[in-house]
Every structure is written in C-alpha cells, then in structure tokens.
Structure 1
C-alpha cells in the first residue's frame, strides 16, 4: 500500500509523545482510562485540525 494515499497527519515528535503518554497512563489506570481516552481524542482532533498551539510560542496578542 502506498502511504501517499493515506490521509494520515504528520505529528511532531512532541505531539506523538503527548499522545503516547496519555495512552500509557490509560493503560496503567483503568479507572481513569475513559477520561484519558477523551483527552486523546480531543488532542488528536486539535492536532489534526492544526488548532493546538505550542505553549512555548509567543502569543501575537501578548505585550
């Protein structure tokens, strides 16, 4: 299968680590897994949509 045909976003290393950390936490905490699953879904959605801003980047509106 040709990867060019897949609609798979290219996550940065930082973004991949955030998602993997949430998955690891969910695997180690079955009680909180559903909450973490929602966080993973939201993070993935924001990353794919390009709406998640890097907290280290200066805000254009800041003084």
Structure 2
C-alpha cells in the first residue's frame, strides 16, 4: 500500500522519531511504512491520519 507519510512528515519538518512517539510505535515501524514494507493496522492508520489532520484516504493510497 502506498502512503504519503514521508511527504507529509517532511512538509511538516517532523522526524521519524517524533511521528513514532506521537502515534506510539517504534521509529522502525515508521521507516517500514514509508518504504511500503508494512501495512498499517486500521488503528495505526487512524492515528497517523489524525496526527496530520487528514483522512485515512488522504494518507494511505489503496490500490486494488
């Protein structure tokens, strides 16, 4: 699943560690999400989207 996490994070000048702390995961999880090696759970997707003030669909691009 493609994400806009890295783009949003860089636009807001937020480090991977800061985002990880805010959504209660490890920095490694954020790295894996950005590199599209890991799909977020619904709960984590919601937390990340809410952190950026976006909807889940604006952050996570679902392609069938």
| Common fold: TM-score over 0.5 | no
Higher strand share: 2
Which structure has the bigger radius of gyration?
A: 1
TM-score, reference length from structure 2? 0.31
